[in-house]
Homo-oligomer: A and B are copies of this chain.
Amino acid sequence: MTPLLKEIRVNPLLWLLALVPVVLVTNALEPEAHTLLFLLSVAAIVPLATLLSRATESVASKTGDTIGGLLNATLGNLTELLIALAALHAGQYVLVKASIAGAIVTNALFMLGASLLVGGLNHHVQEYNRNSARLQAGLLFLATVAMLVPSVLAETDTTAKSAQLTQTLSAGLSVLLIVTYALGLFFSLGTHREFFGSADHSESKEAEWPLSLALATLAAVTVLVAFVSEIFVESVQEAAKALGLSPAFVGFIIVALVGGAAEMVSALSAARKNRLDLSVGIALGSAVQIALFVAPVLVLLSYLIGPTPMDLQFWRGVVAMMIIATMTASLVTNTGRSAWFIGALVVIVYLIFGMTLYLLPPRV
């Protein structure tokens, strides 16, 4: 266990792991302390997500490029997926959809903008490979559009027949998105791997964990995240009410920030080291993964574990936010140059999104 303990000593974020037993005990003793449980579970997920991402990278680095790349690509948003699964199981579809949309916007806007800002505060002007950034931004635009077509096209129509067709469309679309995702993996890990070579998140400076430790950590932490996510989802409704937050705001902002904390740390650290290619790759790649993999998997799993099937119709305002976020990512990465003010502006657009959602949540 030495490497794990060493990791914990080095990374202050992991000290929050102490909260995991606290949240489990509190839940057993005071299951009605919703607001406390909500705050504790949010704080406990952050270090677990970090550990999960570290373990995934360790397994990936031991299993060769292709399987490793596949693992990184599939488990990269495992925390978001586990939280959403708990919400799906509880039938809280507003929370699930808001967290899908929020994860895309948070990655494409906040993670990108914060990377550019932090990078820009440390370097006067940053240059990065604009061709690969444009490729990523183009993929993100297409992936987001693909996921959103039915929301954009379908006029709201509340007849039963229309609801049935919307559900059929969402299921068909989900299958198509997962096929697209598989094609994308075949592209980036198979036929054109040379273009994605530098997307090595771990920066390979840190000591690698042995495979057995990494696998054990992966399994154990997954179980812990699943437990804590369940507590989170059980408490969120009441806690949100007590704190004056809408479920849409919680899903869009809080779940997205908590679930993406680990990647955020990697992206910001890369930006500080003037490796913006890496930051942009993490931010946009993660958003692509949500659109092409996490969202359709949740729709398909809703048939198995949800009370009713979930569709992929998003609210109008949220659709607009996702499209604006991906267009912003395209425009901003178009030049391959950045300075602090660009990052600041992108972060401010995200803040305005949050402020608007806080004051005027979508009526669902």
Contacts and interface: CB of A to CB of B under 8 A. Distances in A.
A356 B153 contact: yes
Nearest to A141: B331
A359 B316 CA distance: 20
Interface stretch (A24-32, A51-59, A342-350): A342-350
A41 interface: no
A317 interface: yes
A145 interface: yes
A68 interface: no
A47 B169 CA distance: 34
A16 to B, nearest CB: 30
Interface in A272-301: none
Contacts of A180: 344-345, 348
A352 interface: yes
A268 B179 CA distance: 24
A184, A188, A355, A360: most-surrounded residue (chain B CB, <10 A): A360
Contacts of A352: 146, 149-150, 173, 176
A38 interface: no
A4 interface: no
A341 interface: yes
A345 B143 contact: yes
Contacts of A173: 352, 355
Contacts of A363: 155, 157
Interface stretch (A6-14, A75-83, A132-140, A223-231): A132-140
Given A180-B345, A341-B187, A332 B150 contact: no
6 contacts: A138-B334, A141-B328, A142-B346, A149-B352, A155-B360, A330-B331
